[in-house]
A and B are shown apart, each in its own frame.
Chain A
Amino acid sequence: MPDIINGNTLIILALPVSLAGLFFAGRAALGKASAAGYSRQLYFATTALIVLSCALLMGLLLAGDYRNAYVYNNISSDLPTLYVVAAFWAGHQGSFLLWLLLINLVGIFIMYSKDDSENILMPVLLITQIFFLAILVADSPFKMVWDAYADVQPGFKPENGLGMNSLLVDPWMVSHPPVLFLGYASAIVPFGYAITALIRRDATILVERAYPWVLFSMICLGMGIFMGGYWAYKVLGWGGYWGWDPVENSSLIPWLVSIALVHGIVLQRKKGVLARSNIALSLVYFILVYYGTFLTRSGVLSDFSVHSFADYGLSPYLASFLCFYIIIAAVMFAVNGRKIESKNLSDSVFSWDALAGYGVLVLVGFAAVVLAGTSMPIISGLFMDKASAVTEHFYNNISVPFGMLMLVFMVGSTMSLTGMKLTGRTVIASAAVSLAAGVAFNLPHTVNPIPYFFTVLSLFVVIMCGYDLARLRTSTVLASRLTHMGMAILVIGIMASGYHSSSVTKTFVKDKEESVFSFFMTFRGMTGENKTALHFSLRDDGVVRDIYTPYYPDEKTNSWFRAPYVVHEFSRDVYISPEAFHSGIQEASSIVLAKDGKGKIGDLTVHFRGFRTENMTSAEPQIIADLAVNGKPVAPALKIVQGSRISIDKPVPGTDRAVSIADIDVGERKVMLSFTLGRNAVIPPDSAVAGISLKRFIWLVWLGTIVISAGCIAAFARVFRNSPA
């Protein structure tokens, strides 16, 4: 690759071109029509530069050019091509570049959609693009290894890269991040329309123009979150699909707001209500996307999450741009917000718009509480001397009232819309069925009232949605009833997989069958060559199946990579995750002792008295470990000849075994001894520790997300059918 086409040059060049584009876009916005043409041409030039730099990074990855620090850090030669491509967004510099590309393409889309608010949207887009370019200049994906690492000679090309973290080598790595970034990137459009609405003092543009974008952004974010959940369940071995981690919350919070906004805009379209709220939500949605990025990439939460949020030195950039957006949005809303016309919600509490309006309020309230929880380390750091995070209990407990209210308003508003009476026969019959089925579903498994409430309510929602779908013209209600039904199915799945589950951690001695819950499991040993796995067999009702759980050392993180194995059954998943493997041979032959420490290995009692050195000034110094084995002195040694260690083993008196020094830790005064096995050695069997949990009806969680997604796509398809634009 010729060095003239340097990625840094492309990015640095895109910055002044974007600034010039912003200048003309600003003039165009102020009414100078001729400036719009220049602005467009400059924008296309930035597109070319950004696309070129993306192509360059992808080329470097595919070519495996390890002189590039990003390539060196994220891939290695043995990585399949699919993941080499995915490495584009595996590191944080590459993911910012992808995000920038998507924002830029959104701008192209807007130009070609012949939008009369282009003059306001484009400056907003360009400012964000400049923000991203500044970040990429500060922390470029085109750094060379000798710029990144102090001890590397210029021009040096490493033989191989560090590779991708094993946890990321998963098909979901290919789709989950880009889909999320698509959701993040498109959030800028509703923001731009809200600014347009404030400038024009007319909110109808949200209904006419912003709605498809909000819907699109909500769908991307939602699907991205769902995919993240499948991935976490399948690979990460956290035992669940959701952990209320800041990384997860920083997508969940804007997603909840986007759901509120979609409903708000529907209400605005049908009743002319919530116009001001929708503008505020559009502004807040975009800001929350950036706030989430700030939280997860600035290092402020580094002590409070499982994820390692190293401080990449970007916090000042992220914080200042976040402040910029907040100030712009707040000032414009404060000045012009009141001048926007909006109708009041109906006085009657039981009207559709009032109930749906309260639903929007609940969604926003939930987002606010999760936001407060996620930000707690920052908030508490300001007011207390010790910063404090909130725990999972906070989120789980707080989800109870919000979840119930959401379900209530979900079903209440659609019932009121279709004129169903609470005392009607269908409603009473459905309620009775839900109650009976909900109780029957929970009774054998839990006495906690929470799953009862949620299951009964959700079943009622499912029945009412199904009833509506069956009796009404499907095209009008399809999207709303499907998403609501999916949400209710998801809730039932959350209840069953959460409240009806049990788990146990067991030690398995090789080839010895253990009873686990209602079935039997046997550890068969470690199998495989490089990517080893623990082999178990599971016997249930006479059916025996083999189970292999990956368990091998991951070079990148220098730790054991372990992945669970999941047996899918109709009523439950059996989730088996490997935890540890103990080699019998190692147990019978090696032991680690600290100075003056005693230990037993087989029938030998070993006492390590300490190290002694000999011939230290000669060419062949020796380190001797003074031992007492069964009370008799033995002194194996390490001789150092020309810098390499030669082990001198010693027979153990009174046995047919010998002992040698396998390793020493002089600093901690510890020794690892290796004993030969001897003729009559008894080698203990290998053993493994595994956690096994039963997750009841967890497929309902997946089904729920699929039904929600189907509903969302139906909503999106409907927008395109109804509006030719």
Chain B
Amino acid sequence: MKSRNIIIFLAVLVSVVVAILSLSDNIMSPYVSFDDAIKKQAYVQIIGQRDKSIPVSRENGSFSFVILSEDGDSMRITHAGQIPQNFDHADRIVILGKYDPAMGVFAADKVLVKCPSKYAKER
């Protein structure tokens, strides 16, 4: 009796997990290039350096800035939320979200700042 009940319980639990995961959006965030982010228009993760020659602009509670990929592509990011700590000094910035073709910008769901390691200079 016992092991059969447990197996049934586990099976139900696993199927609930699978069901929830298959019904939820935006649960995975693969790293993609800027081109792929524009092409796919799916929830993705991009990384780049902020283009500091273009100032951060703000309107209606969201802020917007431009990042550059390693290949030199640029992408305008908007984020309805707060500028994270250490934003000005960020080494690279990781952005999770979706490309918005109507606005021509990448709508960020999260902006993660990667700071230079304090041990970076050590040999």
A binding-site residues for B, Cβ under 8 Å: 69, 73, 148-150, 162, 165, 167, 236-237, 239, 303-306, 308, 310, 312, 344-347, 349, 354, 357-358, 361-362, 365, 369, 376, 380, 384, 386-394, 397-398, 400-401, 405, 504-507, 556-562, 577, 579-580, 594, 668, 670, 689, 691
* A308, A558, A561 pick with most chain B CB within 10 angstroms: A308
Contacts of B113 in A (CB 8 A): 306
Which chain B residue shows the least CB distance to A504? B61
Contacts of A401 in B (CB 8 A): 13, 16-17, 20
- Can you sample 18 A-B contacts with CB below 8 Å? A149-B121, A237-B85, A303-B31, A306-B113, A308-B115, A310-B120, A312-B119, A345-B2, A346-B2, A347-B5, A361-B13, A391-B27, A391-B43, A397-B27, A398-B17, A401-B17, A505-B62, A561-B85
Separation of A312 and B56 alpha carbons in the complex (Å): 34
Contact of A594 with B119 in the complex, beta carbons under 8 Å: no
Separation of A165 and B115 alpha carbons in the complex (Å): 12
Separation of A579 and B16 alpha carbons in the complex (Å): 41
Separation of A312 and B89 alpha carbons in the complex (Å): 22
Contact of B53 with A556 in the complex, beta carbons under 8 Å: no
Contact of A393 with B26 in the complex, beta carbons under 8 Å: yes
Separation of A107 and B20 alpha carbons in the complex (Å): 45
Contact of B28 with A391 in the complex, beta carbons under 8 Å: yes
Contacts of B10 in A (CB 8 A): 361, 365
Contact of B82 with A691 in the complex, beta carbons under 8 Å: yes
Separation of A670 and B52 alpha carbons in the complex (Å): 11
With A149-B122, A579-B82: A386-B24 Cβ-Cβ less than 8 Å: no
Contacts of A559 in B (CB 8 A): 85-89, 115
Contact of A580 with B83 in the complex, beta carbons under 8 Å: yes
Given contacts A344-B2, A505-B82, 8 further A-B contacts (CB under 8 A): A73-B119, A303-B31, A308-B115, A358-B9, A397-B20, A401-B17, A559-B85, A560-B88
Contact of A557 with B115 in the complex, beta carbons under 8 Å: yes
Contact of B9 with A505 in the complex, beta carbons under 8 Å: no
With A305-B112, A310-B117: A394-B122 Cβ-Cβ less than 8 Å: no
* B81, B110, B118, B122 pick with most chain A CB within 10 angstroms: B122
Contact of B25 with A393 in the complex, beta carbons under 8 Å: yes
With A347-B1, A559-B88, A594-B53: A237-B82 Cβ-Cβ less than 8 Å: yes
Q: Does B30 contact A (CB under 8 A)?
A: yes
Contact partner, B119, options A310, A365, A387, A388, Cβ 8 Å: A310
Separation of A347 and B118 alpha carbons in the complex (Å): 58
Contact of A562 with B85 in the complex, beta carbons under 8 Å: yes
Q: Does B45 contact A (CB under 8 A)?
A: yes
Residues 24 to 38 of chain B near chain A (Cβ within 8 Å): 24-32
Contact partner, B122, options A148, A237, A347, Cβ 8 Å: A148
Separation of A395 and B103 alpha carbons in the complex (Å): 30
Shortest CB-to-CB span from A24 to chain B, Å, is 38
Contact of B123 with A149 in the complex, beta carbons under 8 Å: yes
Contact of A308 with B24 in the complex, beta carbons under 8 Å: no
Contact of B29 with A388 in the complex, beta carbons under 8 Å: yes
With A303-B94, A312-B119, A361-B10: A689-B24 Cβ-Cβ less than 8 Å: no
Contact partner, B45, options A312, A369, A389, A394, Cβ 8 Å: A389
Contacts of B47 in A (CB 8 A): 303
Contact of A349 with B29 in the complex, beta carbons under 8 Å: no
Contacts of B31 in A (CB 8 A): 303, 386-388
Contact of B9 with A361 in the complex, beta carbons under 8 Å: yes
Q: Does B102 contact A (CB under 8 A)?
A: no
Shortest CB-to-CB span from A646 to chain B, Å, is 26
Which chain B residue shows the least CB distance to A299? B117
With A73-B119, A150-B123, A559-B89: A670-B53 Cβ-Cβ less than 8 Å: yes
Contact of A390 with B86 in the complex, beta carbons under 8 Å: no
Residues 42 to 79 of chain B near chain A (Cβ within 8 Å): 43, 45, 47, 53, 56, 58, 61-63
Q: Does B104 contact A (CB under 8 A)?
A: no
Q: Does B108 contact A (CB under 8 A)?
A: no
Separation of A361 and B122 alpha carbons in the complex (Å): 46
Q: How many A-B contacts if CB must be within 8 Å?
A: 139
Contact of A393 with B24 in the complex, beta carbons under 8 Å: yes
Separation of A361 and B31 alpha carbons in the complex (Å): 34
Shortest CB-to-CB span from B22 to chain A, Å, is 11
Separation of A165 and B25 alpha carbons in the complex (Å): 36
Separation of A160 and B97 alpha carbons in the complex (Å): 42
Contact of A365 with B13 in the complex, beta carbons under 8 Å: yes
Which chain A residue shows the least CB distance to B5? A349
Contact partner, A73, options B58, B84, B115, B118, Cβ 8 Å: B118
Separation of A388 and B40 alpha carbons in the complex (Å): 15
Contact of B58 with A689 in the complex, beta carbons under 8 Å: yes
Contacts of A162 in B (CB 8 A): 118
Contacts of B24 in A (CB 8 A): 393-394, 397
Contacts of B88 in A (CB 8 A): 559-560
Separation of A357 and B6 alpha carbons in the complex (Å): 9
Shortest CB-to-CB span from A249 to chain B, Å, is 15
Shortest CB-to-CB span from A615 to chain B, Å, is 29
Separation of A304 and B5 alpha carbons in the complex (Å): 39
Separation of A393 and B32 alpha carbons in the complex (Å): 19
Which chain A residue shows the least CB distance to B92? A303
Contacts of A304 in B (CB 8 A): 94
10 closest cross-chain pairs (CB), A and B: A559-B89, A310-B117, A388-B30, A394-B27, A505-B61, A347-B1, A344-B2, A691-B82, A559-B86, A397-B24
Separation of A670 and B47 alpha carbons in the complex (Å): 26
Contacts of B82 in A (CB 8 A): 237, 239, 505, 577, 579, 691
Separation of A358 and B113 alpha carbons in the complex (Å): 41
Q: Does B95 contact A (CB under 8 A)?
A: no
Contact of A389 with B122 in the complex, beta carbons under 8 Å: no
Shortest CB-to-CB span from B1 to chain A, Å, is 4
Shortest CB-to-CB span from A141 to chain B, Å, is 12
Shortest CB-to-CB span from B37 to chain A, Å, is 12
Contact partner, B89, options A376, A384, A558, Cβ 8 Å: A558
Which chain A residue shows the least CB distance to B89? A559
Q: Does B107 contact A (CB under 8 A)?
A: no
Separation of A376 and B120 alpha carbons in the complex (Å): 26
Contacts of A365 in B (CB 8 A): 10, 13, 17
Contacts of B81 in A (CB 8 A): 505, 691
Contacts of B5 in A (CB 8 A): 347, 349, 354
Shortest CB-to-CB span from B15 to chain A, Å, is 10
Contacts of B112 in A (CB 8 A): 305-306
Shortest CB-to-CB span from A271 to chain B, Å, is 12
Contact of A391 with B96 in the complex, beta carbons under 8 Å: yes
Shortest CB-to-CB span from B63 to chain A, Å, is 8
Contacts of B21 in A (CB 8 A): 394, 397-398
Separation of A580 and B56 alpha carbons in the complex (Å): 11
Which chain A residue shows the least CB distance to B19? A401
Separation of A303 and B13 alpha carbons in the complex (Å): 32
* B9, B27, B53 pick with most chain A CB within 10 angstroms: B27
Contact of B20 with A400 in the complex, beta carbons under 8 Å: yes
Contact partner, B28, options A388, A556, A668, Cβ 8 Å: A388
Shortest CB-to-CB span from B2 to chain A, Å, is 4
Shortest CB-to-CB span from B59 to chain A, Å, is 9
Contact of B13 with A390 in the complex, beta carbons under 8 Å: no
Shortest CB-to-CB span from A205 to chain B, Å, is 24
Q: Does B101 contact A (CB under 8 A)?
A: no
Separation of A365 and B10 alpha carbons in the complex (Å): 9
Which chain B residue shows the least CB distance to A376? B28
Separation of A559 and B21 alpha carbons in the complex (Å): 39
